């Protein structure tokens, strides 16, 4: 929609690309449609559908992702026109959450969000299915396949809500990971596109031992980080904050982030080159408080120093580092800083062990 400024638009598209990457996809191209209001039947309009078809054929793409929420009928019409997998922004985000949710509550919240997204969209699919499987018993009075599917989904949603109540009422801390490897845990938190996964890759060791390798492949979002003193800690990427998160996904997002509470130290990554960085910082800060994680020490990592044009003076009194994730010296500086914060915060603990 042309109500967005050019910068906001670029930002949203960059964010979408980062989300696709997080979900394990590769962007082969982008197509932009500029209209007052979205087309009711296909969102982008007939001419653009043809253009999109041609572009996909040329690049060999298999999925088309729309940077908005599509109506059930738009998805149906587009699928009929193009015979490609059509996803909207909400589905992409749900897919990322589903891959990241670790706690029982997180998994339940994500499933609930997926089902409530699916419910109004069953129509086209159920219709095709019941026709394919047509014949005796599928006609006449009684439930249609669609009604059966809807009833089944509503039942499951009720069951999930019941389980969620239980989980919340005996909220226990999930310490399994900690028990498994007694390691010092550092969580990366911040907006999507702030540079969390770049930092995860670039800060971690390339010389991981064989026994750690299994762990590394089991959980691609956790890596080992060796500090200047030789101490090894675990660094975990979390699901990133997203601009304009659909309200139906807020609960799923929060519980996906629950495990941040298990961290010993939080690296709060901020894209210092983003004009809106201050608001991003505040949003993350507020959520940490809501998650009951505000007692965990935080090191702020102002990233993308290379893109700053003027001076940068971060506000606030928590320890901070201004770096570029691409600069080896900056990364070294950050490793020292992490160790310094750990020593300061956990001094009594270090002494007791020695």
Residues lying near ligand GDP in the complex (CB under 6 A) are found at: 18, 21, 192-198, 240, 303-304, 306-307, 324-326
Judged by CB, which is closer to ligand GDP: 12, or 121?
A: 12
Given a contact cutoff of 8 angstroms between Cβ atoms, the answer to whether 225 and 235 are in contact is yes
Residue 44 CB neighbours (<10 A):
20
Q: How far is the CB of 192 from ligand GDP (least distance, A)?
A: 4
Q: How far is the CB of 337 from ligand GDP (least distance, A)?
A: 16
Given a contact cutoff of 8 angstroms between Cβ atoms, the answer to whether 235 and 224 are in contact is yes
Q: How far is the CB of 244 from ligand GDP (least distance, A)?
A: 16
Judged by CB, which is closer to ligand GDP: 149, or 330?
A: 330
User: H helices then E strands: how many in the chain?
Assistant: 14, 8
Q: How far is the CB of 336 from ligand GDP (least distance, A)?
A: 18
User: What Å distances lie between residue 71 and 40, 41, 86, CA to CA?
Assistant: 9, 9, 12
Given a contact cutoff of 8 angstroms between Cβ atoms, the answer to whether 82 and 52 are in contact is yes
Say how far apart CA 267 and CA 190 lie, in whole Å.
8
Say how far apart CA 299 and CA 345 lie, in whole Å.
11
Q: How far is the CB of 295 from ligand GDP (least distance, A)?
A: 24
**Alpha helix stretches (DSSP H) within the chain:** 6-22, 46-59, 72-82, 89-100, 104-118, 122-132, 145-169, 176-181, 196-203, 210-218, 250-256, 277-290, 328-345, 347-353
Say how far apart CA 351 and CA 354 lie, in whole Å.
5
Judged by CB, which is closer to ligand GDP: 167, or 199?
A: 199
Say how far apart CA 167 and CA 185 lie, in whole Å.
24
Q: How far is the CB of 26 from ligand GDP (least distance, A)?
A: 13
Say how far apart CA 159 and CA 183 lie, in whole Å.
36
Judged by CB, which is closer to ligand GDP: 78, or 299?
A: 299
Given a contact cutoff of 8 angstroms between Cβ atoms, the answer to whether 157 and 113 are in contact is no
CA nearest neighbour of 95 among 70, 73, 117, 119: 117
Judged by CB, which is closer to ligand GDP: 145, or 324?
A: 324
Q: How far is the CB of 303 from ligand GDP (least distance, A)?
A: 5
Judged by CB, which is closer to ligand GDP: 167, or 325?
A: 325
Say how far apart CA 110 and CA 99 lie, in whole Å.
10
Q: How far is the CB of 234 from ligand GDP (least distance, A)?
A: 17
**Stated length of the chain:** 354
Judged by CB, which is closer to ligand GDP: 86, or 301?
A: 301
Q: How far is the CB of 272 from ligand GDP (least distance, A)?
A: 9
Judged by CB, which is closer to ligand GDP: 93, or 108?
A: 93
Judged by CB, which is closer to ligand GDP: 43, or 191?
A: 191
Residues 6+ apart with CB under 8 A from 14: 193
Q: How far is the CB of 27 from ligand GDP (least distance, A)?
A: 11
Judged by CB, which is closer to ligand GDP: 169, or 244?
A: 244
Q: Between β-strands 232-237 and 222-226, what pairing exists: parallel, antiparallel or unpaired?
A: antiparallel
């Amino acid at each position: 929609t042309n109500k967005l400024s050019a910068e906001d638009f670029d930002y949203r598209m960059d964010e979408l690309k980062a989300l696709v990457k997080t979900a394990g996809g590769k962007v082969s191209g982008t197509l932009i449609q500029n209209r007052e209001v979205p087309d009711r039947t296909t969102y982008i309009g007939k001419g653009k559908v043809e253009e999109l078809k041609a572009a996909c054929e040329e690049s060999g793409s298999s999925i088309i992702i729309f940077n908005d929420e599509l109506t059930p009928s738009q998805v149906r019409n587009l699928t009929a026109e193009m015979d490609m997998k059509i996803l909207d922004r909400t589905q992409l985000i749900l897919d990322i959450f589903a891959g990241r949710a670790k706690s029982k509550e997180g998994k339940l919240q994500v499933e609930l969000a997926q089902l409530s997204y699916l419910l109004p969209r069953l129509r086209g699919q159920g219709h095709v299915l019941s026709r394919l499987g047509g014949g005796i018993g599928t006609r006449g009075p009684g439930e249609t396949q669609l009604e059966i599917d809807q009833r089944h989904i509503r039942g499951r949603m009720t069951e999930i809500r019941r389980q969620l109540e239980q989980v919340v009422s005996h909220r226990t801390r999930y310490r399994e990971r900690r028990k498994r490897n007694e390691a010092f845990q550092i969580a990366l938190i911040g907006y999507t596109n702030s540079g969390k996964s770049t930092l995860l890759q670039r800060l971690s060791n390339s010389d991981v031992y064989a026994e750690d390798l299994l762990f590394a492949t089991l959980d691609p979002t956790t890596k080992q980080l060796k500090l200047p003193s030789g101490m090894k800690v675990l660094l975990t990427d979390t699901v990133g904050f997203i601009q304009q998160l659909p309200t139906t996904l807020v609960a799923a997002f929060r519980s996906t982030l629950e495990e941040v509470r298990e961290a010993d130290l939080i690296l709060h990554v901020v894209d210092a080159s983003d004009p809106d960085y201050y608001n991003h910082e505040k949003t993350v800060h507020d959520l940490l408080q809501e998650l009951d994680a505000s007692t965990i020490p935080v090191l702020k990592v102002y990233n993308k120093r290379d893109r700053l044009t003027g001076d940068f003076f971060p506000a606030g009194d928590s320890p901070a580092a201004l770096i570029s994730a691409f600069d080896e010296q900056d990364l070294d500086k950050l490793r020292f800083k992490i160790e310094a914060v750990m020593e300061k915060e956990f001094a009594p603990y270090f002494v007791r062990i020695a």
